[in-house]
Amino acid sequence: MEIKEFVKLCIAEDIKDGDHSALACIPENAQDKAKLLVKEDGIIAGIEIAKQIFKEFDEQCVFEPLLKDGDTVRYGEIAFYITCNSRALLGAERLVLNVMQRMSAIATKTQKFVAAIGDLPTKVLDTRKTTPLIRFLEKEAVLIGGGVNHRMGLYDMIMLKDNHIDFAGGIQSAISQTQEYLKSNNLDLKIEVETRNLDEVKEVLTIGGIHRIMLDNFSYEDLRKAVQMIDKKFETEASGGITREKDYAR
């Protein structure tokens, strides 16, 4: 979603026909300066988005960043100064705070998982389990925290999950139909197949013609066996039941 469209929707939700509190007592041409104060340690995210939001409210605003997206921050630091029309400042204030609070929380959490796997040849991926209409913000926050975007939606990658496989009549049928669909529609999309046990992993390996195998809710022991079975023939992805408290990485 373009930031202009996002801000337009946010104004329609929050301001509608006017911020009557500001309109009632703030002069039309008043100018003010404000700062964003960091209230919690972590990874800051959303500074560039904040700048764009303020610009949508007041094209003449002056945005002075003291920090950048991805910086480690401490309580009490100042992230930026903003000078702009007073009414615009009051109208954009809560939107900027809401966006930055959510993005910074996601970036901070992501960074903790990234740090947990250290220098292992493994990446932390996000999912489509995002808040409707602000996926682009949450996905950006994952990147800022050091993670990797898995896919943006249903349109940019094929993921054959358990429901697809069951409805298609099995793994063989799901893969072959998908390959034919991509060919007949002249689409160049990667195929990922979800597996629920080692037998399904074996089946996918036998069929081939895909790019990545997801190992869904595998035990630590079966996860290790599956990775050894796949032996780098395809990309592997582990999903479900993985926390920073479990030593899956070793």
Catalytic center residues: 94, 129, 161, 194, 216
Task: Estimate to the nearest angstrom the gap between the alpha carbon of 111 and the chain centroid.
Answer: 13
Q: Cβ(152)–Cβ(139) under 8 Å? A: yes
Rounded distance between C-alpha atoms, residue 20 and residue 25, angstroms: 9
Which stretches does DSSP call E strand in the chain?
A: 31-37, 42-43, 62-65, 72-73, 78-85, 158-160, 191-195, 212-216, 235-239
Beta bridge partners of 31: 85
Q: Cβ(212)–Cβ(190) under 8 Å? A: yes
DSSP structure string for 56-76: HH-TT-EEEESS-TT-EE-TT
